[in-house]
Chain A
Amino acid sequence: MSAGLWNYMFEGLLVTLQLTIFGAVLGLVFAFAAGLARLSGNKLLRGMGFAYTEAFRGLSALVVLFWLIFVLPTVFGVQLAPLFAGVLALALNIGAYGAEVVRGAVRAVPRSQIEAAIALNFTPWQRMRKVVLPQAVVAMIPSFSNNLIELLKATALVSVVFLSDLTFGAQLVRASTGNTAGTFGLLLVAYGLIALVFTTLMRLLERRAAASLGRTVPPGMIARIFRRTEASA
């Protein structure tokens, strides 16, 4: 494989990482906005949060991506930069799943904690910021970790609309070398390794967050592979 081809793969890797990281950040914003909206006392906010989560959990990210790329420019005259369209489609999708995580974690904070904060005369904003979220965020991290891997996997979808990510790079390499099994095999291994790096980082975060509340952490990816061994030992 020539240096030029490696370059395609490397540039693709950068695009994949950009999509994952920007998608995660924007998705987190959507997740918190929609998740908290669904818990709000305001009926309109609740309805909007519900409509968003139901619609985007019911649609594949690929369909949303097609819509942003093919429908938005012709019908509404809005042409998004391809990378931004990719990030937006992925974030809308993962944000809807994240919103459920946020909602579940906030609701799991014991009622007595909120009552205590009310008794201490905290404002609703202080209650959320100083009592509810510090506990809820710890509970969100394991699920967010799974969502991040789902997001990483979903970034491969952008290659269908010709964004030059890692998968697209691999298709170019395959087309010019003719080595199908090797290229796609290597591509799968590459995604597996990126996922491993992300889960390891999220585990560190999870462990630190859990330690801050004095809790322990369930097994991670490597531990899961050997779980049976541990159990029978």
Chain B
Amino acid sequence: MNWDWQIFWDSFPRLLDGLVIALQATVIGYLIALVLGLVFALLRRSRLVWISAPVGLVVEFIRSTPLLVQLFFLFYVLPQFDVHLSTLMTGAIGLGVHYATYISEVYRAGIDGVPQGQWEAAKALNLPARRTWTSVILPQAIPRSAPALGNYVIAMFKDTPQLIVITLPEMLTTAQGIGSETFRYPEPITVAGILYLATALVMSWIARIFERRFGTVRAA
């Protein structure tokens, strides 16, 4: 057994800084995913095949290829097109676009779960399409999606270590950095693992509270 408790405890402050960056990437990425996921879900419902089919193809493609490679692609290819973003933004966009494809399926299931009678009622009341969506369908569809949406925040946070490949100083990158300075890898990596696990457990606890609070469709 070869273990240095000094390095173990000394790793915490810097790794907590990494945790903050990982959480920032998660929050920005999640906001992108929530909005873009809804856009994907609505476009896939379009009656025009030349809209719904290409969007469907893109969504299925993004969903079946590794996030890691997508991050490489964004990180190395965007600058070639003169798009210069910070690594935090690149990472958040990568996470957001990847998870938008999952979240669009969650919205789809939520929209499909709205009873047919609600659509018919909106039509009978002669509501325009926009009102039908904003006042009738989405207020019922989104709470139905809430539990699954919460799970994806946690899933996304757990994918932040992959941002190591675009050199974002999140937790795993920091752990590796400490390792190369002190020549001791086990302690910082173990601390990072503990912090990831603890944060994910806290997040799932918060998600359960949110689910109880917002997860029910209000009867108006």
Q: Does B159 contact A188, Cβ atoms closer than 8 Å?
A: no
Residues 192-218 of A at the B interface (beta carbon under 8 Å)? 192, 195-196, 199
B 135-162 binary contact with A (CB < 8 Å = 1; else 0): 0000000000000000000000011111
Per CB-CB distance, the 9 closest pairs between chain A and chain B, nearest first, are A195-B64, A156-B66, A225-B56, A228-B52, A58-B200, A70-B185, A71-B186, A153-B66, A191-B65
Residues 60-91 of B at the A interface (beta carbon under 8 Å)? 60-61, 63-70, 72-73, 76-77, 80
Interface residues on A, range: 35 or more
- List the B side residues contacting A225 at CB < 8 Å: 53, 56-57, 60
- List the A side residues contacting B61 at CB < 8 Å: 188, 192
| A121 in the interface (beta carbon within 8 A) | no
Per the CB 8 Å criterion, the residue count for chain B at the interface is 49
- Looking across the interface, which residue of chain B has its beta carbon closest to that of A232? B47
Q: Does B77 contact A66, Cβ atoms closer than 8 Å?
A: no
State the majority secondary structure of interface residues on B: helix
CA distance A122 to B160 in the complex (A): 49
Contact residue among B3, B72, B192 (Cβ-Cβ distance under 8 Å from A184): B72
Closest chain-B Cβ to A191's Cβ sits at a distance in Å of 4
Q: Does B185 contact A71, Cβ atoms closer than 8 Å?
A: yes
CA distance A149 to B159 in the complex (A): 16
Q: Does A195 contact B65, Cβ atoms closer than 8 Å?
A: yes
CA distance A199 to B61 in the complex (A): 13
Question: Given A221-B60, A228-B56, A229-B53 in contact, is the A157-B68 Cβ separation under 8 Å?
Answer: yes
| B193 in the interface (beta carbon within 8 A) | yes
| B197 in the interface (beta carbon within 8 A) | yes
A 72-93 binary contact with B (CB < 8 Å = 1; else 0): 0011110000000000000000
- List the B side residues contacting A196 at CB < 8 Å: 64
- 6 A-B residue pairs with CB within 8 Å: A60-B158, A71-B185, A71-B189, A71-B190, A157-B68, A184-B76
Residues 1-31 of B at the A interface (beta carbon under 8 Å)? 1-3
| A162 in the interface (beta carbon within 8 A) | no
| A185 in the interface (beta carbon within 8 A) | yes
B 187-198 binary contact with A (CB < 8 Å = 1; else 0): 001101100110
Among A66, A71, A180, A184, max chain B CB count under 10 A is at A66
Question: Given A70-B189, A74-B186 in contact, is the A188-B45 Cβ separation under 8 Å?
Answer: no
Among A64, A149, A152, A157, max chain B CB count under 10 A is at A157
- List the B side residues contacting A77 at CB < 8 Å: 2
- Looking across the interface, which residue of chain A has its beta carbon closest to that of B163? A62
- List the A side residues contacting B160 at CB < 8 Å: 60
Closest chain-B Cβ to A107's Cβ sits at a distance in Å of 18
| A128 in the interface (beta carbon within 8 A) | no
- List the B side residues contacting A174 at CB < 8 Å: 76
Q: Does A58 contact B196, Cβ atoms closer than 8 Å?
A: yes
- List the B side residues contacting A187 at CB < 8 Å: 69
- List the A side residues contacting B53 at CB < 8 Å: 225-226, 228-229
Q: Does B1 contact A75, Cβ atoms closer than 8 Å?
A: yes
